[in-house]
Structure 1
């Protein structure tokens, strides 16, 4: 490449756009622990308890129109920071995008759900994606969907993961575009979306 382009060789890649890259003989780790640390400093969070999960299984977020309003600017800033973190943290994707649905009119109940995600990150700042060498290129995909979980418009949520060998290369969690009338239909929609991603 040096013969064709004017360039200079720097040291081995270890940091790129907030992503930390650790290259080892057996594979590569990609994470964002420094970004998480910077987020906690940016929002000046006090000491908080660590949570074992990003969201409680008993929570049911909805518009909460009677709830106490929360600062829209701060809420959007929190959500935006978390959305960028999903670049290397598929474990928080569903929770973050569920909370992101309420950016137009956030309530204190939504803020509490966001803070649960931050308390989870407090205890898991060093979780990283692992890309081992020599695990083949067999394409494997997983997908699932709930049925009518959205409290506002009864739409379902699809989730999916795609692996090349043992390397996670794509993941998603999003609300479906249409309303399904059964669990089977919502799962067919999720499967179709996953197949499109695979193709």
Structure 2
């Protein structure tokens, strides 16, 4: 069969100094498949000061293409080589935040959390809260509850 060089989107190169793994080929193929080769890179994908609301005049999104992009990105991030165990610190640290009535359409708040094991990010999410908070304190309380649930799961 020979030496392993490509496996489920991972490029593998074995030399005397060690084994090197990357996903450059999979990433380039994904960008080509979804017509994103000519897109420019940015350090921050979106300005944090922009408020999102419903686009009444926008065109419909092709759900098949959209789901394909999301699946490809999920696979890309889930299959990346995990070098967490090279870290010597195993302190579990978590952060949570919320914005009060961030969505202009339904006035729901948005929560976000991230969890670190040592200095490595192991979990994060950001989503619209399922209920409408009546104060900033309540929005933060809901975010902390989600954060604690994630910590208990970890």
TM-score when normalising by structure 2: 0.70
Say whether the 8 Å CA contact 1:148–1:154 is kept in structure 2: yes
Q: How does 1:90-105 map to 2 (within 5 A)?
A: none
1:36 is displaced (CA, Å) by: 2.9
| CA separation of 1:83 and 1:132: change in aligned 2, threshold 3 A | same
Alignment: residue pair count = 143
| CA separation of 1:163 and 1:154: change in aligned 2, threshold 3 A | same
Unpaired runs of 5+ in structure 1?
1-9, 23-28, 90-126
1:140 is displaced (CA, Å) by: 1.1
| CA separation of 1:88 and 1:185: change in aligned 2, threshold 3 A | farther
Matched, 1:40 2:35: no
Unpaired runs of 5+ in structure 2?
14-19
Show the counterpart of 1:77: 65
2:41 to 50, 53, 65: 50
1:104-160 CA-partner distances (Å, limit 9, x unpaired)? xxxxxxxxxxxxxxxxxxxxxxx9875252423221111111111112211111111
Considering fraction of residues, name the structure with more strand: 2
1:69 is displaced (CA, Å) by: 1.8
Higher relative contact order (CA 8 A, sep 6+): 1
2:94 to 102, 120, 141: 141
TM-score when normalising by structure 1: 0.56
